[in-house]
Amino acid sequence: MSELFDAVDALIAGHAPLPPPGERERLRKAHGLTQEQVAAALDVRRATVVSWENGRTEPRPPQREAYARLLDKLAELYPAAPAPQPVRPEPAAAPATPPPRTAGPAPRTALPAPATVPAAATRAPVTAVRPTPPAPARPTDTPGPSPAPRRPAGKKTAAKPATPPAVADPRFENGPLAVIDSDDGQVSAYCAGGLVLDVPATSLPALIGWALTEARLGAPRLHPSGRDADPLLVLTESACERYGLPARLSDQERLSGRLPEGHKVHKQLTRAHWQLTKRGFGPWARIYRPAQGARRECVQLCVPSWNALDTRHWGNAALLAPAELARLLGTYATRVATPCGSTAVTGLELMTSLHPPTRASEPDATGRRRSEHNPGSLGKHAVECAPCEAPDGHPLLAGLPRFHQRTPAETLVEEAYDWSRPLTDDECLQRHLVGIDVNMAFAAGANGAIVGLGAPAHVQRPAFDPKLPGSWLVDLSHVELDPRLPSPFTPRGNRPEGPAWYATPTVAYAVELGYDVEPAEAYVRYENGRFLDGWYQRLRDAYVATMADLGVTAGLSPQEFLTAMDGCRQRDPHLAIVLSAVKATVKGGIGKLRERPRGGGWRPGEPWPALGRPTWRPDIRAAVISRTRVNMHRKMLKHAAATGQFPVAVLSDCAVYTADGPSPLDFLPYRDGKPLPGGFRLGVSPGMVKHEGTRTTLWAEGVREEHGGELNLARYIKDGRVTAEDSGE
């Protein structure tokens, strides 16, 4: 009889109803799972999961039962939001006397009004939606209950309409941030959507309280287990003076990176029960009260006049008018994340925001949920790196003799290319040098990367596994490649001379080229996953969307793409700054994974603060850079095999070739508009290439004669300028 029951149960399970395709995708993403993870768990291909989620096919036994069980569990954890009920409007009756206005910022549109007015700009004054924080010591530090006076826009002009999408969460209806400016004693908050709010706060503690209780600033979380983004207030010079801050830091304050602890603003915040993080009150400051349960009270401050916006990445953003700065930062915040420091800091924080270390557990017998490890994340605690992965000065290397130079057999060196070679006689006869640059190369290197999530395990004489992330001690000196190409195994492009430490992608490429590898030892990470996939996708979407705003879209022919790229940054200089910031977020975020000591007072062998972060992961940085360099070599090898052309210089993601004409189309092999499979392809997506610059062959010969033959021409192909500092003079 039991066999009959089992058969009936199997029959029912095999025909259990499944959620619609769109709901299947929603449930997977809500739990932070990738299609690869689901496919691996169910022993199917990723393409099969894709077909299940878009409705092209349906799962079959035995995977159907397991897939249904997975979706049922996820549906319990992440129930679908109920559909909003329509609200019947009540007829408006004219009151006998005007009703009292609610406390809150009075929205007002600056002139001229944008073509599409944000919904918030047409509403009544905003009311507070967060609980009021504990009263500060002085009543004058609390925003008054009376409404902010509405006043017409004066001589200020609004920026162009912002590009962020409509905010669905009413808690953050005024966007992620506001630029605070003071004019003739009136303080205004310029929001990302072109909206301008009156600010009633008369002190900095009151301004913090206003941002949390009335302004409706912030952004919803990027992951169901994450947290909402804190409001960001950007203070102009006039706003600094209005709230008792210096318009610019003194030399001593600039060197220390913060205001002295005895500053009057510190005292104001302390009296109002606000606290600062360990980095103090600097160009980027976080002001908070200790969390009480799920309630979080925290505001980020940015002071551009204190050099908060690095000109290398943000251009002249600090000099923009408040409305223009709000549009620029709002676009970045909506597409990437609300800035919380430099682009590098924001890039690192974005990784955690998209894959938080913990999540809520399933309810226990009492119905309570607890915090537990979020699978696929880096966790809450830092893990020790392998000795070969530790940079010089790390505590793991404290036992080494002083001034010891570590050899490749002692340290992992995975860096971007910096390689060049002399031109051949045939190449000198060609008229031009043409540089091509890979779009978002490090982001493309992060896409699909399998990286370690936990601590390394030391293994002697392991069999190499290309799917196992880690560091491998291997001798690759026997690999012979064309000397007109840089070696894929070293940043300088020279052939390895003996055993050296390599990240998994580098060793896997040697196997791909057909060579045997026999690791002597390895530090591998058995707990691993595609931690950076979501990070790549968000930054890719931000890059592609911003390029589209600048007139460069996907699907263009090679010539159309080159034409669209010509002068695209001049079409909207402010969006061009957003583009630079997005690219800097990628490189900076990867670089922060191996942050070195900063500031004075540190001595080799002593720990530094970054080592305590779960995101201090030099092995992940090495894996991404390794994949980026290997991707570059693979394309150059494909190009050489198809055309017989070799690069004369490579710098990170830029390669320089000789050509008879000045355009990339004069040497890239396109047939009937189609690129070489696996080679360089012109286009806007990450991993494709764009035109970096063109110089004449005579220019190259003159530069090398004047500054030395070892000069890397890829460094100067864009503008042709070579400085004495660059050339080592």
- DSSP for 594-637, please give it: TPPP-SSS--TTS--GGGGSTT--HHHHHHHHHHHHHHHHHHHH
Dump pLDDT digits (tens) for 266-296: 999 999 999 999 889 999 999 999 877 667 8
Q: 727 or 422: which carries more pLDDT confidence?
A: 422
pLDDT band at 15 (very low <50, low <70, confident <90, very high): low
Q: Quick one: which of 302, 303, 280, 300 has its CA closest to 288?
A: 300
CA-to-CA distance for 140 and 142, rounded, in angstroms? 5
SS3 for 558?
helix
Cβ neighbour number for residue 152 with a 10 Å cutoff = 7
Q: What integer pLDDT is reported at residue 575 of this predicted model?
A: 96
CA-to-CA distance for 652 and 628, rounded, in angstroms? 9
- Indicate the pTM of the whole model: 0.78
Span 11-22, mean pLDDT? 70
CA-to-CA distance for 555 and 127, rounded, in angstroms? 46
**Average model confidence (pLDDT) for the chain?**
85
Q: What integer pLDDT is reported at residue 270 of this predicted model?
A: 93
Q: What integer pLDDT is reported at residue 191 of this predicted model?
A: 96
Q: What integer pLDDT is reported at residue 89 of this predicted model?
A: 42
Find which of 15-24, 256-265, 611-620 is predicted with most confidence, using mean pLDDT: 611-620
Three-state secondary structure readout of 702-724: HHHHHHCCCCCHHHCCCCCCCCH
CA-to-CA distance for 616 and 618, rounded, in angstroms? 6
Q: Which two tokens stand for residue 571?
A: 């079409």
In one-letter notation, the amino acid at residue 682 is: L
Span 292-320, mean pLDDT? 92
Q: Yes or no: say if 209 and 201 are a contact pair by the CB < 8 Å rule.
A: yes
Give me the phi and psi of 137, to 5 degrees please. -65, -35
Dump pLDDT digits (tens) for 208-218: 999 999 999 99
Q: What integer pLDDT is reported at residue 316 of this predicted model?
A: 95
Burial 660-678 (b: 16+ CB within 10 A, else e): eebbbbbbbeeeeeebbee
Q: Yes or no: say if 289 and 274 are a contact pair by the CB < 8 Å rule.
A: yes
Dump pLDDT digits (tens) for 331-341: 999 999 999 99
**Residue 193 pLDDT exceeds 60:** yes
Q: 84 or 452: which carries more pLDDT confidence?
A: 452
CA-to-CA distance for 653 and 718, rounded, in angstroms? 13
pLDDT band at 54 (very low <50, low <70, confident <90, very high): confident
- Domains, in order of start, for the chain: 2-77 (1.10.260.40), 107-339 (no CATH)
pLDDT band at 57 (very low <50, low <70, confident <90, very high): confident
In one-letter notation, the amino acid at residue 728 is: G
Do β-strands 371-373 and 432-438 pair in parallel, antiparallel, or remain unpaired?
unpaired
Q: How far apart are the first and last CA of the chain?
A: 91
Dump pLDDT digits (tens) for 103-155: 445 454 443 333 333 333 333 333 333 333 333 333 333 333 333 433 333 33
Give me the phi and psi of 198, to 5 degrees please. -80, 135
Q: Quick one: which of 363, 362, 340 has its CA closest to 353?
A: 340
Span 64-84, mean pLDDT? 79
Span 48-65, mean pLDDT? 82
Q: 3 or 56: which carries more pLDDT confidence?
A: 56
H-helix or E-strand containing 253? helix 251-256
Which residues are within 8 A (CB) of 660 and not within 5 positions of it... i.e. 6 or more apart? Answer: 430, 431, 432, 666
Dump pLDDT digits (tens) for 671-715: 888 999 999 999 999 999 999 999 999 999 888 888 776 789 999
Which residues are within 8 A (CB) of 446 and not within 5 positions of it... i.e. 6 or more apart? Answer: 532, 533, 535, 536, 586, 590, 624, 627
**Residue 187 pLDDT exceeds 70:** yes
**Residue 94 pLDDT exceeds 50:** no
CA-to-CA distance for 355 and 232, rounded, in angstroms? 22
Cα four-point dihedral sign 128, 202, 154, 322? negative
**Residue 27 pLDDT exceeds 60:** yes
Q: What integer pLDDT is reported at residue 17 of this predicted model?
A: 77
Q: Which two tokens stand for residue 221?
A: 């979380």
Q: Yes or no: say if 269 and 205 are a contact pair by the CB < 8 Å rule.
A: yes
Q: What integer pLDDT is reported at residue 502 of this predicted model?
A: 98
pLDDT band at 2 (very low <50, low <70, confident <90, very high): low
Q: 127 or 432: which carries more pLDDT confidence?
A: 432
Q: What integer pLDDT is reported at residue 55 of this predicted model?
A: 77
Cβ neighbour number for residue 36 with a 10 Å cutoff = 16
Q: What integer pLDDT is reported at residue 148 of this predicted model?
A: 40
Span 627-640, mean pLDDT? 97
Q: Yes or no: say if 594 and 621 are a contact pair by the CB < 8 Å rule.
A: yes
pLDDT band at 87 (very low <50, low <70, confident <90, very high): very low
Q: Yes or no: say if 682 and 450 are a contact pair by the CB < 8 Å rule.
A: no
Q: What integer pLDDT is reported at residue 304 of this predicted model?
A: 97
CA-to-CA distance for 403 and 417, rounded, in angstroms? 26
Burial 368-383 (b: 16+ CB within 10 A, else e): eeeeeebebbbeeebb
CA-to-CA distance for 654 and 439, rounded, in angstroms? 10
Burial class (CB in 10 A: 0-12, 13-18, 19+), 425: exposed
Of 33-47, 94-108, 213-227, give the lowest mean pLDDT range.
94-108
CA-to-CA distance for 162 and 326, rounded, in angstroms? 8
Rg (CA), the chain: 29
**Residue 729 pLDDT exceeds 50:** no
CA-to-CA distance for 470 and 462, rounded, in angstroms? 12
Q: Which two tokens stand for residue 641?
A: 């095999």
Span 626-635, mean pLDDT? 97
Q: What integer pLDDT is reported at residue 168 of this predicted model?
A: 64
Share of residues in the chain with pLDDT > 90 (%): 67
H-helix or E-strand containing 574? helix 573-592
Which residues are within 8 A (CB) of 256 and not within 5 positions of it... i.e. 6 or more apart? Answer: none
**Residue 356 pLDDT exceeds 80:** yes
